[in-house]
A and B are shown apart, each in its own frame.
Chain A
């Protein structure tokens, strides 16, 4: 019985975090980025095209459109808007103050490449896509099951 309990605990310890980690969406920057942390308000502003400065330098948002689930999480958790409201907000920002909308990238590999070349770039992705990558830094978890 004790042996079985040990196996179960071990299984939870080994597989549990992997399962939850792979079902998390995290905010990511380049490893040497000056960005240490961003509040949820700042993240929302950034992905709505609002200028966000850290240490006097403008951040660049990359919208990860590599899968439909990420799109749903983006709308529900990051910008907290319907796609229609998001589209309108982007139009309004550009019309009012010339805000540049976030770059939209359709593959994880391309998102990672863009993060490598720009220390001011900020994106989000599944934790499993970034957790063993020493060239990227996870700032925070945006969503998790």
Chain B
């Protein structure tokens, strides 16, 4: 039985437990369109895959404490059921999800997911990139996710998320998460992730936290790089810290990841580690303009055998730009970027329209 059918069946079976509660529905469309140009190309891979036109469709079907929540992303590059989660609201503070989810050991995921309109910048940091767009860390898992938000002393709030599920596999096209619509029968391994953060109030952006993950990635078809010959599976250990400072006019946030890697070859087991991080600053100007800049940097990336499995992986990147929220829930953004990959560098300019439509 396909996982999607299973989730729908469980949802229908659980709905009698919510007898008397009305059905509730929600739908949100976040479309975007962009043009991209690259120049000063000094690398064999001068740009990541680009999604020029995209529509992010979010829907919720809720009855009582049970909820089916999905996100279907359609673009000129792909059509994919990014999230499909059956949720049980245990209490006002805690929800348990089953299905395909975005790994919670990423504050960027928690803030934006695929919602282009909710991101001030056009591009995600390289460390947070989706698997099918050249991402180096697994982002989509299928399993169980628990999210909580608890009041603490002095008005502070503790947000937590913990999850475990089937990890993406490594193929010749990069990391490939489990597809709910077209499931495969390949051998997959598991991954566990957790995030905890403290915030001065329940809805505050300001806060700081820690994250951790342990992901085992099965290799099902070897990437076409010399580093992949004889590789059986990869174990990733992720530790990180993040923080955000937000005022009505400023928002500054940063994330640092330490990534430990174990590459299990037939005849050897090299251990390595590298670090990646980014710092983004946003300044709200008058007339609905927001200026932004981001620095992405890495340590030890050039020597990482794991990163050499991803020839287009970004090492360092600098971006800056301007966003104009020219009308309610619609924005135009201009972004300039300079990217240093493991094999060279290039620059890019992007212009994007994005919106959020109920």
Interface positions of A (Cβ within 8 A of B): 41-42, 45, 48, 50-53, 56-58, 60, 87-89, 91-92, 94-101, 118, 120
Complex Cα distance, B60 from A33, in Å, reads 26
Query: Nearest CB to that of A42 among chain B residues?
Result: B92
State the main secondary structure of chain A at its contact with B.
Answer: mixed
* CB pair A51 B110 closer than 8 Å: no
Which residues of chain B have C-beta atoms less than 8 A from A52's C-beta? 92
Contacting pair B62 A100 (CB below 8 A): yes
Residues of B within 8 A of A120 (CB): 21
The answer to whether A98 touches B87, judged by C-beta atoms less than 8 angstroms apart, is yes
The 8 A-B pairs with the shortest beta carbon distances in the complex, nearest first, are A98-B69, A98-B60, A95-B115, A100-B26, A100-B24, A51-B89, A53-B92, A52-B92
Q: Is B81 an interface residue (CB 8 A)?
A: no
**Among candidates B22, B30, B67, B91, residue contacting A98 with C-beta atoms closer than 8 Å:** B67
Is B227 interfacial (CB 8 A cutoff)? no
CB pair A58–B113 under 8 Å, yes or no, is: no
Complex A-B: 26 CB contacts under 8 Å? A41-B202, A45-B92, A51-B92, A53-B89, A56-B65, A57-B64, A58-B21, A58-B65, A58-B89, A60-B24, A89-B203, A91-B28, A92-B111, A94-B26, A95-B30, A95-B118, A97-B87, A97-B147, A98-B26, A98-B60, A98-B87, A100-B24, A100-B25, A100-B60, A118-B22, A120-B21
The answer to whether B329 has its CB under 8 Å from any CB of chain A is: yes
Once bound together, how far apart are the Cα atoms of A49 and B210, in whole Å? 27
Task: Please report the number of residue pairs spanning A and B whose Cβ atoms sit closer than 8 angstroms.
Answer: 74
B interface with A by C-beta (< 8 Å): 21-22, 24-26, 28, 30, 58-60, 62, 64-65, 67, 69, 85, 87, 89, 91-92, 95, 110-113, 115, 117-118, 147, 202-203, 328-329, 356
Closest Cβ–Cβ distance, residue B76 to chain A (whole Å): 22
Q: Which residues of B contact A41 (CB under 8 A)?
A: 202
CA distance A65 to B32 in the complex (A): 31
Q: Which residues of B contact A50 (CB under 8 A)?
A: 92
Q: A51-B92, A91-B118 are in contact. Are A98 and B110 (CB under 8 A)?
A: no
- Whether A91 and B117, one on each chain, are in contact in the complex, defined by CB atoms closer than 8 angstroms, is yes
Taking A57-B64, A95-B30 as known contacts, 12 extra A-B pairs with beta carbons closer than 8 A to each other, sorted by chain A number, are A51-B65, A52-B92, A53-B92, A58-B89, A91-B329, A94-B60, A95-B118, A97-B147, A98-B59, A98-B69, A100-B60, A118-B22
